[in-house]
C-alpha cells in the first residue's frame, strides 16, 4: 500500500484510515523539540505500522500523545506506544473504566450488549485482535477540561473540547503553523447506546466551529484530508439537511422533499437517506 502514508504539510505526516478494522488516521506532528502523535491507533499492530514507517523515513519518533476521544479505534493502541498521553477529562474517565476490566470475549460481548460499544465495534475488535484477551487499555496521563496548548518547538497545537453527538468528549486539534484542523470523529453521529442519532443544532454548531478556524486542511479521522473548498462541497448537502430538520423537525416527508429539490435529485443517495434517519432519531 504505497499511499498508506502521506506528508500532509511541512510538520505533519499521516497514516491514512483503513476501513477493514476501522483504523482512523494517525498523525505525527513534528516540532523542533518534540513530535506529537495524534491518536494512538486501534491496536499494537496499527501503532507498529506507523512507528516503523516513521523510522523508515528517518523521522523523530513521537514523545507525546494526544487523543481526540476515547473510542477504542483511537485509543487502544496507547499501551504499545507507552507515551505520556494528553486527553479530555471525559476521555480519561471512559478509559479508566475500560482499563479496569478483565478483557476477554464474554466481556466484549457484554460491552456491546450494554451499549458501551456496539456490535460493529466488537466485530472490528475481534478482527483486529483475534482474541479480545489481547486488548490492553491504559488511561491518559495529563487531563484537561476545555482547551490545552501543546508547544512542540515552533509548532503550536491547540486541543479543544467540542463534544457533539458522536462522543461527549470529542476534541479537535489545530496545528497553527500548518493550518491543519484534525476534527477527529466529532462530525459523526452517536454510535453507541441506541440507534445512530444526529442533533441538527449540534451538527450545525460543530460545522460553524470548524469553519471559524479558517484551516487549509480539514481532517476527519475516517476520511481523507480535505481542502476547505472540498470540505464545504462534501458537507453542503448535510448542512442543508440539518437546516431543514431545524425548520421542519420530525416531518420526514417534507425534509426529504426539500433536500431532493435542493440537490436536484429524484432519489437521495444512500448515505444521505441514512442521514435523514439519524437526524429524525435526534429530533
| Positions that interact with Zn ion (CB under 5 A) | 71, 185
Q: Where are the beta strands (DSSP E) in 67-211?
A: 85-88, 142-144, 147-151, 156-161, 171-175, 180-184
Nearer to Zn ion, 71 or 197 (CB): 71
Cell 476527519 belongs to which residue? 220
Q: Which is nearer to Zn ion, 11 or 71 (CB)?
A: 71
Q: Nearer to Zn ion by C-beta: 121 or 148? A: 121
Smallest separation, CB 222 to Zn ion (Å):
8
Nearest distance, CB of residue 111 and Zn ion, angstroms:
15
Nearer to Zn ion by C-beta: 24 or 237? Answer: 24
Query: Rounded to the nearest whole angstrom, what is the least distance from the CB of residue 282 to Zn ion in the complex?
Result: 17
Cell numbers standing for residue 205: 454548531
- The CB-of-219 to Zn ion minimum distance in angstroms stands at 14
CA of 200: how far to CAs of 161, 205, 244, in Å?
19, 9, 9
SS3 call for 180: strand
| Cβ closest to Zn ion, residue 67 vs residue 83 | 67
Residue 185 C-beta: closest distance to Zn ion, Å: 4
- Cα 30–31–32 angle (5° rounding)? 125
155 vs 218, beta carbon nearer Zn ion: 218
Measured CA to CA in angstroms, residue 250 lies from 11, 193, 254, 280, 283 at distances of 46, 21, 9, 6, 6
Q: Least CB distance from residue 258 to Zn ion, whole Å?
A: 30
Q: What is the DSSP string of 207-271?
A: HHHHHHH--SEEEETTS--B-HHHHHHHHHHHHHHHHHHHHHTT-HHHHHHHHHHHHT-SS--HH
In sequence order, what are the residues at sequence separation of 6 or more whose Cβ sits closer than 8 angstroms to the Cβ of residue 140?
Answer: 65, 67, 78, 85, 86, 87, 91, 92, 95
Query: Residue 274 in contact with residue 237, Cβ under 8 Å?
Result: no
Query: What is the smallest separation between the CB atom of 267 and Zn ion, expressed in angstroms?
Result: 29
Q: Report the residue number, 31 or 77, with the smaller CB distance to Zn ion.
A: 77
Amino acid at each position: 500500500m504505497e499511499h498508506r502514508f502521506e506528508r500532509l504539510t511541512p510538520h505533519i505526516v499521516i497514516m491514512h484510515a483503513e476501513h477493514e478494522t476501522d483504523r482512523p488516521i494517525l498523525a505525527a506532528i513534528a516540532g523542533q523539540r518534540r513530535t506529537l502523535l495524534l491518536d494512538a491507533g486501534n491496536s499494537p499492530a496499527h501503532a507498529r505500522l506507523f512507528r516503523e514507517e516513521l523510522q523508515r523515513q528517518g523521522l523523530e519518533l513521537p514523545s507525546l500523545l494526544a487523543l481526540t476521544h476515547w473510542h477504542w479505534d483511537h485509543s487502544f493502541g496507547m499501551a504499545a506506544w507507552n507515551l505520556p498521553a494528553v486527553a479530555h477529562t471525559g476521555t480519561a474517565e471512559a478509559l479508566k473504566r475500560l482499563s479496569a476490566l478483565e478483557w476477554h470475549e464474554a466481556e466484549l460481548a457484554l460491552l456491546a450488549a450494554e451499549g458501551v460499544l456496539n456490535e460493529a465495534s466488537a466485530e472490528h475488535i475481534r478482527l483486529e485482535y483475534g482474541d479480545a484477551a489481547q486488548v490492553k487499555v491504559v488511561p491518559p496521563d495529563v487531563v484537561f477540561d476545555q482547551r490545552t496548548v501543546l508547544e512542540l518547538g515552533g509548532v503550536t497545537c491547540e486541543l479543544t473540547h467540542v463534544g457533539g453527538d458522536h462522543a461527549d468528549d470529542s476534541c479537535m486539534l489545530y496545528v497553527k503553523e500548518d493550518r491543519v484542523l484534525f476534527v477527529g470523529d466529532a462530525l459523526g453521529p452517536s454510535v453507541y447506546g441506541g440507534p445512530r442519532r444526529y442533533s441538527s443544532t449540534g451538527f450545525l454548531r460543530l460545522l460553524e466551529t470548524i469553519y471559524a478556524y479558517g484551516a487549509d486542511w480539514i481532517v476527519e479521522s475516517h476520511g481523507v484530508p480535505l481542502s476547505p473548498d472540498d470540505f464545504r462541497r462534501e458537507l453542503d448537502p448535510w448542512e442543508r439537511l440539518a437546516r431543514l430538520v431545524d425548520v421542519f423537525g420530525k416531518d420526514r416527508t417534507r425534509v426529504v422533499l426539500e433536500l431532493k429539490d435542493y440537490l436536484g435529485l429524484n432519489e437521495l443517495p444512500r448515505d444521505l437517506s441514512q442521514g435523514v434517519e439519524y437526524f429524525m432519531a435526534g429530533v
